[in-house]
Amino acid sequence: MNSARSWLVFGGAAFIYLVAVMQRTSFGVAGVEATDRFEVNAAVISVVAVVQIVVYAVLQIPVGVLADRIGAPVLILGGALIMAVGQALLSVSGGIVVALVARILVGIGDAATFVSVIRLLPGWFDGRILPQLSQWVGMSGQLGQILSAFPFALLLHLQGWTPAFLVAAGVSVLAAVVAGAVVRRGAPTVTTQELRSIDPGEAGLRASLARPGTQLGFWAHLVAGSVPTLLGILWGYPFLTAGLGYDPATASGVFTLMVVGTLVSGPIVGLLIARHPLRRSDLVLTITWSMFAVWTLVLVWPPEPPVWLVAAFFFLVGVCSPASLIGLDVARSSNPQHAHGSATGIANSGGFIGGFVGMLLVGVVLDLVDEVRVAAGEVSQLYSLEGFRIAFLSAYLIALVGTVGLLWKRKHTRRRLYEEEGIEIAPLWVALFGARGRRRPPDVRQ
């Protein structure tokens, strides 16, 4: 555990996840070009992206179960190869149906990657470093967004659609080579004797789903992860280029601030959840709604927001990515070791479910706003700033639903914690301004 070889495996797995994020976000960078190439409207483009994320979200639980049963390395290798096929197919696609199939393949390969990487870690590491490693994986993955925002976007602009996506496919082939050479299954976290002692009622997917901590992790991931998914995969780059009229260099610089936000805040969030595990859900809510406060300023600023405010907003969206990973830590610490993969898969689907609902709603609203504009005798402008201002309100609705779900399941989780372990968690205002709550062991679940 925690050996030099452990770090080699971690480095290889983190690189593969970086590549997966690049493949995931590449279509969003090419969103405007895809509208012209396939001669479709915003709703159709959003459907392509939504289907990709739906596939990703639906497969999170099966992938978690498979990671528990057959091991993460097989899934990581297979995921890289499937993404390579999907990007190669997209590079030669001439119609929207072929593009849809290609993105489904990318979604399948992407789905097999992150949960498998997280499931791999307990076999190589232990101690307080483990929850921080999840943040580091997320940080390394966000570097893939830089690859899509800068080199991929530049290649797309200079060489065109086919060369850009062929190069992306080649990068996934490289990731598969790394997976085959470096990534190995670590020490088993549960022995055969331990498995025999597991109560059948506590094993299996249904048991993971039934645990309030797993459900809390799902809602925490949905609350914090929906907007990074919405903007990072599809609508962030078109908002900057078409909505705000930024040139490609400025748009790429602002867009990349999401990654900077993740890299800067990831280690801090990791330390906070390791030191204050009782306050993980409070941290999720604080970070997420701080981001929404700044987003509100961006959307209402007349006639258009200054670049510094938009930059601050995208930076805070990046901070939400580590906040969403808190949900995975909540789910992991609420489940026995043999169910970590299943619980992580359930929690990790939250932000992507919220994200694909948001992506679809934004595309539909953009089309409706443009239709109203045309009906009023104005010139069609599909990706207008006014359209984005209205369409982005759907993200607020998703966040409100997620917050209600989080508070609901947090109440159940804390009640079970008190009943089973006698640990009572005081409200946040009491902890900050009044009496101290009871301290708890580091692995308490919420």
Higher pLDDT, 407 or 123: 407
Taking only the tens place, the pLDDT of each residue in 299-310 is: 999 999 999 999
Predicted TM-score of the model (pTM): 0.74
Q: Using pLDDT thresholds of 50, 70 and 90, give the confidence band for residue 203.
A: low
Report the pLDDT value the prediction gives residue 316, as an integer from 0 to 100. Answer: 97
Q: What is the mean pLDDT of residues 385-407?
A: 95
Report the pLDDT value the prediction gives residue 430, as an integer from 0 to 100. Answer: 60
Report the pLDDT value the prediction gives residue 188, as an integer from 0 to 100. Answer: 64
**Whole-number mean pLDDT of the chain?**
85
Examine the pLDDT at 286 and tell me if it is beyond 80: yes
Using H for helix, E for strand and C for coil, what is the string for the chain? CCCHHHHHHHHHHHHHHHHHHHHHHHHHHCHHHHHHHHCCCHHHHHHHHHHHHHHHHHHHHHHHHHHHHCCHHHHHHHHHHHHHHHHHHHHCCCCHHHHHHHHHHHHHHHHCCHHHHHHHHHHCCCCCHHHHHHHHHHHHHHHHHHHHHHHHHHHHHHHCHHHHHHHHHHHHHHHHHHHHHHCCCCCCCCCHHHHHHCCHHHCCHHHHHHCHHHHHHHHHHHHHHHHHHHHHHHHHHHHHHHHCCCCHHHHHHHHHHHHHHHHHHHHHHHHHHHHCHHHHHHHHHHHHHHHHHHHHHHHHCCCCCCHHHHHHHHHHHHHHHHHHHHHHHHHHHCCCHHHHHHHHHHHHHHHHHHHHHHHHHHHHHHHHHHHHHHHCCCCCCCCCHHHHHHHCHHHHHHHHHHHHHHHHHHHHHHHHHHHHHCCCCCCHHHHHHCCCCCCCCCCCCC
Report the pLDDT value the prediction gives residue 422, as an integer from 0 to 100. Answer: 65
Most confident stretch, 173-187, 297-311, 345-359: 297-311
Q: Using pLDDT thresholds of 50, 70 and 90, give the confidence band for residue 432.
A: low
Most confident stretch, 50-64, 195-209, 216-230: 216-230
Which residue segments constitute the domains of the chain, with CATH numbers given?
4-186+206-433 (1.20.1250.20)
Taking only the tens place, the pLDDT of each residue in 224-259 is: 999 998 998 788 988 999 999 999 889 988 988 998
Q: Using pLDDT thresholds of 50, 70 and 90, give the confidence band for residue 48.
A: confident
Taking only the tens place, the pLDDT of each residue in 62-103 is: 888 888 888 899 999 999 999 999 999 999 998 999 999 999
